Amino acid sequence: MYDLIIRGGKIVDGRGGEPFVGDVAVQDGRIAMVGGTVDGDAVVVIDATDRIVTPGFVDIHTHYDGQVTWDDEMSPSSAHGVTTLVMGNCGVGFAPVRPGQEEWLIQLMEGVEDIPGTALAEGITWGWETFPEYLDVLDRRRMTVDVGAQIAHGAVRGYVMGERGARNEPATPEDIAQMRAIVREAIEAGALGVTTSRVLGHRAMDGEPVPGTFAAHDELFALGYALRDAGTGVFELAPAGADGLDVIKAPVEMAWMRKLSAEIGRPVTFGMNQVEDDPEQWRMLLAESLEACADGSQCYPQVAGRPFGMLVGLQTHHAFAKRPSFIALSHLPLPELVARLREPAVRAAILGEDNLPANPSVVWDEVPAALERFVYRLYPLGPTLDYEPLPEHSLARLAAVKGVPPLELFYDLMLEDDGRAMMLLPIYNYAWESHDVIREMLLHPQSVSGLSDGGAHCGMICDASIPTYMLTHWARDRVRGEGLPLEFVVKKQTKDTATLYGLGDRGSLEVGLRADINVIDFENLRLGSPKMAHDLPSGGRRLLQDAEGYDYTIVAGEVTRDHGKDTGARPGRLLRGAR
């Protein structure tokens, strides 16, 4: 008698081999048998005929550092087949924290990751100062998924240096020694790695760059030496140039990352995008990552499965948010707001106005004016959810065909679907003349699938759905170019991501490993349209994108989701260190 048997599914085991039909048996949270026909019975039997059976997805780039203290469902990632997630990326987090410093960390996270500060302030249940104490708090949590945490350079710098650290002043040798000791303590307590940010676009709500953005190499290497001292952990970063700003620094970044990895003997993983100012730079970074591997370094670019940008609409960011007549109506509930905006006089007034002056020290304040300039790169997302739109489908081209100014079309499209329509602004990884850039990135032997930003950029994207998109788009539906094999796509977000973080007890369907499993109706797997919800604490907003086709998600042998519904099972735990 087993605890669980999944019968007759097409098993895509996460190791990259050909799928095969067979059974999977689970006992005591572990996989007891894979393939063939399992004799005997089980407490729970799942018929997986005409379904695929995969390992649970391991998402290594999320920002649930605050949400994990109040949300045991860990949505939206848990709705997209994710059974393990890693948070604390990009140098921002909530530990260590000195008493009275909590609001500063909230403002930092809100500015960098667009998580409503009011939601964080109301939702986070503080109760720690050091990073080990933070892990102890998380250890008492029971969730739908397993959660691993990394220690963030920004928080460490603020803890050690106070205002000097927050304002990116140079660190003294004494400061650096303290930071190294704190990071080592965190790694030995169970942190999966240390993270930092070097991109100019990562700013706190007051416009100040993330602490550590301009850190000298001795400070950065000290963080890495802490990993070497502890003998484990990953060094993760958003490198200079990854956001399209200061792109000339990318080769310099690659040089020190290679040197660091070689010196500490630990993996370095970094966010990588195709950027408009240097659209071929990503190829250089991939090539150097492969060279670094041959030289004994471990450098792994993190790449996204679809273009990264913004979802633009009435409920998110749009071109009219700084115009006086819109501001006067913006407090109205959505149905009333849409009705007023459809009035000819209101429409004419808003279209005829200029934006109020933007405050350059306030994050997002310059977005409306920027969107006016980017009409050539805005695309109606539509019910088909076209994340690879053709140039002739841009708002500017459509407006030219209709013979109307682009901003008028922008205004009217924004009011479609009762004000819920979305437009896509692809910023990174989308240059039509090299349209297979993402496919090339995914196929590279050093790249890892990441950058979903689950839990973050709540008013801008909902890329926590990328694990589902990887299956529907790349392994099944792609029409503008060649897709990717199903077994490759599964391995890319299971075995490969787990291996990078030393999580050797999961990521594939093998006897003895954790029974983290998805049973998926692959032919009918579907992404829903992005929708705005106000379900965070204090009514905070976030974009969500649901999925249909996940029959079952199983964590440690327990069914956590049944045909898209949370079962209430909470087998997820804090991960402490490599497995």
Quick: pLDDT tens for 517-576.
999 999 999 999 999 999 999 999 999 999 999 999 999 999 999 999 999 999 999 999
> What are phi and psi for residue 137, nearest 5 degrees?
-65, -45
Q: Which long-range contacts (CB under 8 A, 24 or more apart) does 357-365 make?
A: 358/322, 360/207, 361/206, 361/207, 362/205, 362/207, 363/111, 363/203, 363/204, 363/205, 363/207, 364/114, 364/317, 365/322
User: d(Cα 558, Cα 570) in Å, to the nearest integer?
Assistant: 8
Q: How many residues does the chain have?
A: 579
- What pLDDT sits at residue 207? 86
> Of 50, 31, 45, which is closest to residue 549 (Cα–Cα)?
50
The CB-side HSE value for 118 (13 A sphere, CA atoms) comes to: 9
Q: Is the pLDDT of residue 449 over 80?
A: yes
Give pLDDT tens digits for 13-55.
999 999 999 999 999 999 999 999 999 999 999 999 999 999 9
Q: Taking a C-beta distance cutoff of 8 angstroms, is the pair 38, 7 a contact?
A: yes
> Of 438, 196, 471, 420, which is closest to residue 309 (Cα–Cα)?
438
Q: How confident is the model at residue 185 (pLDDT cuts 50, 70, 90)?
A: very high
Q: Taking a C-beta distance cutoff of 8 angstroms, is the pair 264, 228 a contact?
A: yes
* Strands 299-303 and 268-271, sheet pairing: parallel
39 torsion bin: left (phi>0), alpha (psi -120 to 50), beta (else) = beta
DSSP state of 248: G
- Strands across the sheet containing 57-59: 57-59, 82-87, 146-149, 574-575
Kindly list the distances between the CA atom of residue 194 and the CA atoms of 182, 226, 430, 577, in Å, as whole numbers in the listed order: 11, 9, 30, 12
- Torsion over CA: 456, 462, 463, 466 (sign): positive
Q: Is the pLDDT of residue 462 over 80?
A: yes
Q: Is the pLDDT of residue 360 over 80?
A: no
User: d(Cα 277, Cα 247) in Å, to the nearest integer?
Assistant: 7
| Structural domains of the chain sorted by starting position, each given as residue range(s) with its CATH number in brackets | 2-55+521-569 (2.30.40.10), 57-306+434-504 (3.20.20.140), 311-428 (no CATH)
Q: Is the pLDDT of residue 361 over 90?
A: no
**Residues 459-473, mean pLDDT to the nearest whole number:** 97
> Of 312, 350, 351, which is closest to residue 329 (Cα–Cα)?
350
User: d(Cα 191, Cα 150) in Å, to the nearest integer?
Assistant: 5
Q: Is 307 exposed, middle or buried (0-12, 13-18, 19+ CB in 10 A)?
A: buried
User: d(Cα 533, Cα 539) in Å, to the nearest integer?
Assistant: 9
* Strands 558-562 and 550-555, sheet pairing: antiparallel
159-191 burial: b if 16+ Cβ within 10 Å, else e: bbbeebbbebeebeeebbebbbebbbbbbbbbb
- What pLDDT sits at residue 242? 93
Q: Is 476 exposed, middle or buried (0-12, 13-18, 19+ CB in 10 A)?
A: middle
**Residues 239-265, mean pLDDT to the nearest whole number:** 94
> What are phi and psi for residue 468, nearest 5 degrees?
-70, -45
- What pLDDT sits at residue 362? 72
Indicate the helix (H) or strand (E) that contains 4.
strand 2-11
Beta strands in 129-262 (DSSP E): 146-149, 151-152, 193-197, 234-238
Residue with tokens 């998924």: 145
Residue with tokens 């391991």: 58
* Strands 234-238 and 574-575, sheet pairing: unpaired
Q: Which two tokens stand for residue 401?
A: 């065909």
564 torsion bin: left (phi>0), alpha (psi -120 to 50), beta (else) = left
User: d(Cα 215, Cα 201) in Å, to the nearest integer?
Assistant: 16
Please state, as a whole number, how many other Cβ atoms lie within 10 Å of the Cβ of residue 35.
14
Q: Taking a C-beta distance cutoff of 8 angstroms, is the pair 60, 501 a contact?
A: yes
406-428 burial: b if 16+ Cβ within 10 Å, else e: bbebbbbbbbbeebbbbbbbbbb
Indicate the helix (H) or strand (E) that contains 26.
strand 20-27
101 torsion bin: left (phi>0), alpha (psi -120 to 50), beta (else) = alpha
Output the average pLDDT for the chain: 96
- What pLDDT sits at residue 80? 98
SS3 state at 153 = helix
Give pLDDT tens digits for 389-446.
988 999 999 999 999 999 999 999 999 999 999 999 999 998 766 568 999 999 999 9
How much is the pTM? 0.97
SS3 state at 107 = helix
Cα torsion at 84, 90, 94, 99 (round to 10°)? 170
Q: How confident is the model at residue 118 (pLDDT cuts 50, 70, 90)?
A: very high
Indicate the helix (H) or strand (E) that contains 550.
strand 550-555
- What pLDDT sits at residue 206? 86
